[in-house]
Amino acid sequence: MTSLPRQFLSIGAAENQRNIAYVQRAGKSPGLFWLNGFRSVMTGLKASALDAFGAEQGLEVTRFDYSGYGESSGDFDKATITSWLEETIAVFDKTNGPQIVIGSSMGGWLALLLARHLLQTGQKRLQGLILIAPAVDATHDLIPKRFTPEQFSALESQGVVERVSKYGDGDYRYTKLLLDDGANHLLFGRVIETGCPVHILQGGQDPDVPPAHAQKLLSHILHDPVTCTLIPDGDHRLSREEDLERLRQAVLGMM
């Protein structure tokens, strides 16, 4: 498959300025708009598989790296849900026609925040949302619950804490800035409106975003059609070939 050129989008001003790297495959609607999980990049396995599927179907596919990740500039320690959402909206504005938004883990939370923004601004461009182990309200409901008392102390005194990754890809770094800012974007506690069909793919053996979290999300989406596929032996990443096939089928269902 021919490599696609990187494009860069300048966002923010002065010390908050960052260049966001994105790739867009030309094609027909509905386009596929991919949102990475925490610490993941647009060249990851699921993102690449989705791009290949889009190429087979002749669909527009858009992927990007959040600031502080991959090929985008920016200081990861200054990144927040606010800044990543700003980047999500800016790159989404580069897409054409109706879109199916696919978000993995933290990207699932950002997908729902994007849907809310589009509804609030009167943009009816979402054909569907596909959420893979959606880490909704992760900075409040998920991440802090894994911290030890010593890590909470380090977070307060140093502004950052690191946890060993289960996936062999280095330590995961969480800043107090990120966790505090997340409070501005919490979705649970009120009805979640998307304005489109939603399909959740959830691993039954996911230790990071457990099935109960997906059930909690289901109880908040009351006005839009929702399908939840539980994969009993699935982990958090859902990147096995059989998981990727479920993702492809979910996209076809949205089309």
Which tens digit of pLDDT belongs to each residue from 170-220?
678 999 999 999 999 999 999 999 999 999 999 999 999 999 999 999 999
Establish whether the linkage from the previous residue to 98 is cis, with ω within 30° of 0: no
Closest CA to 213 of 108, 80, 103, 88: 108
In a domain, 234, yes or no: yes
Per-residue pLDDT, 14: 85
The pLDDT of 17-38, averaged and rounded, is 97
Mean pLDDT of the chain: 95
Range of the domain at 246: 7-137+186-254
- With a cut of 60, say whether residue 8 has pLDDT above it: yes
Whole-angstrom distance, CA of residue 99 vs CA of residue 127? 6
- With a cut of 70, say whether residue 15 has pLDDT above it: yes
Find residue 106's DSSP bridge partners.
Answer: none
In a domain, 170, yes or no: no
- The count of structural domains within the chain is 1
In a domain, 163, yes or no: no
In a domain, 143, yes or no: no
Element containing residue 64 per DSSP (H, E): strand 59-64
Q: What CATH number does residue 123 fall under? A: 3.40.50.1820
Q: What is the pTM of this model?
A: 0.96
Whole-angstrom distance, CA of residue 148 vs CA of residue 255? 44
In a domain, 155, yes or no: no
Closest CA to 81 of 166, 19, 147, 143: 143
Whole-angstrom distance, CA of residue 143 vs CA of residue 135? 9
- With a cut of 90, say whether residue 95 has pLDDT above it: yes
For 183, phi then psi, to 5°, come to: -60, -20
In a domain, 148, yes or no: no
Residue linked to tokens 């495959």: 25
Establish whether the linkage from the previous residue to 30 is cis, with ω within 30° of 0: yes
The pLDDT of 159-167, averaged and rounded, is 81
Sign of the CA dihedral with 61 first, then 67, 71, and 73 last: positive
- With a cut of 70, say whether residue 2 has pLDDT above it: no
pLDDT band at 167 (very low <50, low <70, confident <90, very high): low
